[in-house]
Structure 1
């Protein structure tokens, strides 16, 4: 594997890439490191490689001419990668793909970046090592070189080492222990000293599963899981983000298509589907709000049928879902109920199928922002019937979540569909 590292600070790489297994790989000819110093291709007396950006702004940009000359000096460029926060995240799958290449050229930016026209001149693929900012691309390039190189045949001392490491099978790696078997009262797990390789393999698999569930649940959806794995994971205790989320379906006050304040009828389908979403995602509860007596009576008859009546015997699962449903006059009553349950006043957010185009309107809330609320307090997320929530409801909230399809003109999902989609995006788990 030939790496061509294009940088204004090529000496940056010398220490991290000249130790341990990487040093051996270079000595054995498995890896070749070609350092391309951009400054050697700079013109002028001062060999300047940067300049001010057009249009003003802070910082400096790496100039195009010296970067082009530096790249053109590389005869076999192979795939050209540039470390950038704009890039595709570097993960084990990408590292495995790149390990099949013979040549990789890595461009390392500095300052505010590189003249954008470089992307018009070369087939550059941008790669990111994370959503954070570094002084330059060199540190990220070292990460990529190590991640890719250790997958090359002959790089690792034991060929199976790479197969059992974190992310190789979509899971975190199991914990390791070595001598002494007891240290300061801490003992190595007995199973690892049993000599029973079957039990050891099972223990390691279960450790990988539980560690991934607890420490990196975000990678679990990409893991290949057997039925036995899933059964094991189901038995594990876990904190679910949905426990702090409550949803409300407001039937009054809402607006019609003319913007007039109206009341909308309670429907059987809305109650059924939203109750099942509430139970499936482990939410704190679901409130249907209407001040109209006959509508409340209708809703309560439905609840009685499914919670305590014949429906509960015919369909216990539905009864379990309806146990999360309450009917109140208004949102204020729902807030008081949540406060009585949790000891905290919930934060309120609203949903809408339309962007708020009022002058100086606050930007729509993101799911990430709303998710951060859930980590610390109960949240009541309010959905509207008709053509949306009336202003007097919206004014009670701290923000409005972006429409489901906010980049499209057509946003006409049923409220039941919107609830399922928004809750799924917000909770963002399948675990």
Structure 2
């Protein structure tokens, strides 16, 4: 494979490309490089490749003319990658795709960026190596070069050596051990010393599953899992973020369609559907808050019917869901109950279709790693200002960029919980 690297700092690559397997691959003729410096295509004696941005602002912008002339020297059929923070995230699948090419070019930007018209002029693929800031595209290009080269036949010492690596199968890699057998009291797992290759393979698979679900659970959505894999993941004993999340459905104080404070009646669908969401995602609990005694009695009869009555006998799954419900008079009762159960007062986060809150679902996920969270939903036309002010934190509406944001509360609860915990429940 031939790599073309367009960079104003070609010397950046001299040392890393002469180390280890990359150096050996060049010696064997598996990969080779051409470096193209846009400075060589300038037409002034100072070899200037940057200029001030139109519209003002800090920093400089890479100019079109030198870079365009440099790109024109590339083969027409060459696949051209523009290293850019706005690009498609680089992953193993992309590495495999690029490894099938015979020629790949990397365009490395510098300064505040490249004049945006470069993407109108050429067929470039923007690619990003992560959500962080670099001085330029050179280190990102080097990352891609190494990842792609490893997939070229003959590059690795043993072809099977990369098949078990992280991301090769979609999972993170299992732990590795070597001599000494015991070091500072830490011993190599017995199974690796047993010589039983079937048991070793099983252990490695399970450890890869454990590493993935604990550190990068979102990867599991893209992995082909066997029935044995799924059974093992379900049986894993680990802290689930879902246990730290609680839901509250408030029927008072809420607003009616005229903006007046009032009380709403319980809805059978809200009771059942939100309870099923709570059970599916393993939440800490689901609180229904109403001060009306007749409504509390109605809810209690319904729950009894499904949990310990004839409904539960006919539908055990529904019984498990409704077991998550606690009936209380006010939101503060739910807060006190969670504090008593967990030893920590929960952080109250409210939801609203009207107010654009500052919290995203990812923020809530991070909070769950540290403390219990009570996610509060209103009925009627939404929560009163009293409850909104008490919380201090508002979750961003589900469709906050839409001019129509009128979901049922049970739909909103389902979507929010999935966005917060979808990758994290066992």
Bucket of the pairwise TM-score, normalised by the shorter protein: over 0.9
- Relative to structure 1, is the Cα distance of residues 313 and 75 closer, same or farther in structure 2, using a 3 angstrom cutoff? closer
- The answer to whether the 8 A contact 1:172-1:208 is kept is yes
CA deviations over 1:50-71 (Å, ceiling 9, x no partner)? 1111111111111111111111
- Farther off after superposition, 125-134 or 337-346: 337-346
TM-score (norm 1): 0.94
1:16 counterpart residue number: 16
**Distance in 2 separating the partners of 1:413 and 1:38:** 54
**Distance in 2 separating the partners of 1:287 and 1:315:** 22
Q: 1:368 aligns with which of 345, 348, 362?
A: 362
- Farther off after superposition, 398-407 or 136-145: 398-407
1:360 counterpart residue number: none
**Distance in 1 separating the partners of 2:382 and 2:363:** 22
Q: Post-superposition shift, 1:355?
A: 4.2
- The answer to whether the 8 A contact 1:77-1:105 is kept is no
CA deviations over 1:147-176 (Å, ceiling 9, x no partner)? 011101111111112222111111122222
3-state DSSP of counterpart to 2:348: strand
TM-score (norm 2): 0.95
2:379 counterpart residue number: 385
Question: RMSD across aligned C-alpha pairs, in angstroms?
Answer: 1.8
**Distance in 2 separating the partners of 1:325 and 1:281:** 14
1:167 counterpart residue number: 167
3-state DSSP of counterpart to 2:94: helix
- The answer to whether the 8 A contact 1:352-1:402 is kept is yes
**Distance in 2 separating the partners of 1:335 and 1:190:** 47
2:400 counterpart residue number: 406
CA deviations over 1:54-110 (Å, ceiling 9, x no partner)? 111111111111111111122346111111111111110110011111111101111
3-state DSSP of counterpart to 2:390: coil
1:320 counterpart residue number: 320
Count of equivalent residues:
425
- The answer to whether the 8 A contact 1:347-1:398 is kept is no
Q: Post-superposition shift, 1:188?
A: 3.2
**Distance in 1 separating the partners of 2:159 and 2:198:** 21
1:52 counterpart residue number: 52
Q: Post-superposition shift, 1:182?
A: 4.0
2:138 counterpart residue number: 138
- Farther off after superposition, 401-410 or 231-240: 401-410
Unaligned segments of structure 1, at least 5 residues = 357-362
The aligned runs of 1:186-197 (5 Å cut-off) are 186-197=186-197
3-state DSSP of counterpart to 1:21: helix
**Distance in 2 separating the partners of 1:405 and 1:354:** 11
CA deviations over 1:108-165 (Å, ceiling 9, x no partner)? 1112111111111111111111111111111111110000111011111111122221
**Distance in 1 separating the partners of 2:183 and 2:323:** 51
- Relative to structure 1, is the Cα distance of residues 199 and 371 closer, same or farther in structure 2, using a 3 angstrom cutoff? closer
CA deviations over 1:259-314 (Å, ceiling 9, x no partner)? 23332210222111111211211111111111222111211222232333333433
**Distance in 2 separating the partners of 1:103 and 1:257:** 63
3-state DSSP of counterpart to 1:164: coil
